[in-house]
């Protein structure tokens, strides 16, 4: 069988011969194993082999896109021709200019691990069984749900401009949600681990951690209504800050669907907040030398002392805005659709530990994790605190229930008064805790 690069080249050549002015093709092949845990038992195990070809073709700005799940030379020629035929029949888009030219880029090591690629499905089942046993050893009165999986795959991206890329990667993950019951009292918590390399993966203990933490959420109480400081743990901080950076997606800006309209180059957060994108971390979950169109990646400030340096662009949005692409084109598998996204975010840390931040608060709220994503158009935040503790006199006093945070993204970002020195790290990412002053907390009666 022809290589993935050869198949992609055939698809592009076919599109160009059929009247396209520009074309690119992505060809991917992969294997995944997924195991699902439900009600503290293994519900299913699935092994999937997925492969296909996706082609984009452009003619006078009009785009045609096609896919097939057949990896053959004949299929490549067919989808290339179909994409070109569709492009010629489509109304032109005056904002389309071109596809990126090939440029030198930096290779990133350790994105593939033979040890992960060679694992049998039985190993993934064993991780889940071990997680269930760990959780039951903590307490038998629980319901455990979650999943574990591994994936390995290769992908080629070829364009009519001369871009020709081949990558392969592996990933392995496990996650559990533990729910413990003591009479009518319920506590819950979520924990996970994910990596590209087996050396970075620690499935042992994830079930135990989730259950240990779930027990701490028993005995939840109401907190009333007041403005108070918040300490966001790393997962909660990642939710808030990651959503804010993601809203700088230039596609949303240009379609006027984002609260970040008009914020490029502006101070949108506390000067204490700096976040870097680090695409060259060996074995990083989102490490890549190039984006999904072949534009080289760069180490880049996503937020710099609270300032949003630039929007995130792929080639289309960059051409439309008249600026260089920032190298943030993304696409999944063999889908020809190209979006925008970033990865490997690393926050600069402060000089106090999370415990020291909490110790300095007389009355406040600690949020372990949660969905603090702002509403996409307005930036308003109305979020339920599912995993939080009331802070009293510098201590985590008790878990909270029926509690909400009412704010907006810019108030929360600008009210950050400290960033912790300790942090949660996953391959490529570093997220500390943050202290936010004066946020409205609304608890049940």
Per-residue pLDDT tens digits for 96-114: 999 999 999 999 999 999 9
- Distance CA(145)–CA(186), nearest Å, equals 15
- Show the beta-strand stretches assigned E in 243-336: 275-277, 300-303, 329-330
- Distance CA(14)–CA(12), nearest Å, equals 5
The better pLDDT of the pair 445, 237 is held by 237
Cα 312 → chain centroid: 15
What is the reported pLDDT for 363?
Answer: 97
Q: Over the stretch 306-331, which tens digit does the pLDDT of each residue have?
A: 999 999 999 999 999 999 999 999 99
Stretch 273-294: mean pLDDT, rounded?
98
- Who's near 15: CB < 8 A, 6+ residues apart? 23, 25, 55, 57, 80, 81, 83, 84, 160
Q: What percent of the chain has a predicted confidence (pLDDT) above 90?
A: 97
What is the reported pLDDT for 347?
Answer: 98
Identify the band that residue 370 occupies on the pLDDT scale cut at 50, 70 and 90: confident
- Distance CA(68)–CA(71), nearest Å, equals 8
- Distance CA(131)–CA(146), nearest Å, equals 10
Distances (CA, A) of 231 to 161, 235, 368: 49, 11, 9
What is the reported pLDDT for 152?
Answer: 98
What is the reported pLDDT for 445?
Answer: 60
Q: Over the stretch 141-155, which tens digit does the pLDDT of each residue have?
A: 999 999 999 999 999
Q: Over the stretch 16-72, which tens digit does the pLDDT of each residue have?
A: 999 999 999 999 999 999 999 999 999 999 999 999 999 999 999 999 999 999 999
Handedness of CA 298, 302, 308, 312 (dihedral sign): positive
Question: Helix or strand or coil: residue 86?
Answer: helix
| pLDDT tops 70 at residue 333 | yes
pTM of the model as a whole: 0.95
Q: Over the stretch 150-185, which tens digit does the pLDDT of each residue have?
A: 999 999 999 999 999 999 999 999 999 999 999 889
224: β partners: none
Q: Where do the H-state alpha helices sit in 264-417?
A: 315-321, 354-359, 409-414
Q: Over the stretch 371-403, which tens digit does the pLDDT of each residue have?
A: 889 999 999 999 999 899 999 999 999 999 999
The answer to whether 102 and 164 are in contact (CB under 8 A) is yes
Distances (CA, A) of 152 to 47, 49, 128, 169, 281: 12, 10, 19, 6, 19
């Amino acid at each position: 069988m022809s290589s993935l690069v050869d198949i992609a080249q055939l698809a592009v050549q076919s599109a160009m011969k059929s009247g396209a002015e520009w074309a690119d093709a992505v060809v991917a092949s992969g294997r995944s194993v997924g195991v699902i845990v439900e009600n503290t038992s293994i519900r299913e195990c699935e092994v999937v082999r997925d492969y296909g070809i996706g082609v984009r073709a452009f003619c006078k700005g009009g785009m045609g896109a096609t896919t097939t799940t057949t990896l053959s030379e004949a299929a490549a020629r067919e989808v290339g021709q179909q994409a070109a035929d569709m492009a010629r029949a489509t109304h032109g888009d005056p904002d389309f200019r071109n596809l990126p030219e090939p440029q030198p880029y930096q290779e990133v090591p350790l994105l593939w691990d033979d040890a992960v690629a060679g694992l049998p499905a039985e190993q993934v089942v064993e991780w889940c069984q071990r997680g269930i046993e760990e959780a039951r050893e903590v307490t038998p009165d629980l319901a455990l749900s979650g999943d574990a999986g591994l994936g390995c795959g290769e992908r080629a991206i070829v364009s009519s401009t001369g871009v020709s890329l081949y990558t392969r990667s592996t990933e392995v993950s496990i996650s559990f949600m533990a729910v413990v019951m003591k009479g009518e009292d319920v506590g819950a918590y979520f924990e996970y681990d994910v990596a590209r390399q087996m050396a970075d993966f620690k499935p042992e203990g994830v079930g135990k951690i989730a259950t240990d933490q779930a027990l701490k959420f028993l005995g939840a109480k109401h907190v009333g209504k007041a403005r108070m400081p918040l300490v966001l743990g790393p997962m909660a901080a990642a939710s808030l800050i990651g959503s804010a950076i993601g809203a700088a997606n230039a596609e949303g800006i240009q379609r006027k669907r984002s609260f970040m309209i008009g914020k490029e180059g502006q101070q949108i957060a506390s000067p204490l907040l700096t976040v870097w994108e680090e695409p060259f971390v060996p074995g990083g979950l989102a490490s890549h030398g190039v984006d999904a169109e072949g534009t080289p990646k760069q180490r880049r400030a996503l937020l710099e002392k609270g300032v949003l340096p630039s929007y995130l662009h792929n080639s289309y949005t960059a051409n439309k805005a008249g600026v260089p692409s920032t190298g943030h084109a993304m696409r999944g598998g063999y889908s020809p659709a190209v979006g925008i996204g970033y990865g490997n975010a690393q926050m600069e840390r402060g000089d106090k530990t999370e415990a020291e931040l909490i110790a300095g608060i007389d009355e406040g709220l600690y949020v372990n994790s949660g969905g603090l994503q702002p509403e996409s158009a307005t930036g308003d935040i109305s979020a339920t605190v599912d995993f939080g503790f009331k802070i009293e006199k510098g201590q985590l006093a008790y878990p909270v229930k029926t509690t909400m945070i009412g704010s907006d993204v810019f108030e929360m970002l600008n009210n950050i008064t400290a960033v912790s020195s300790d942090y949660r790290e996953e391959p490529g990412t570093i997220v500390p805790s943050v202290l936010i002053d004066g946020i409205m907390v609304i608890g049940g009666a």
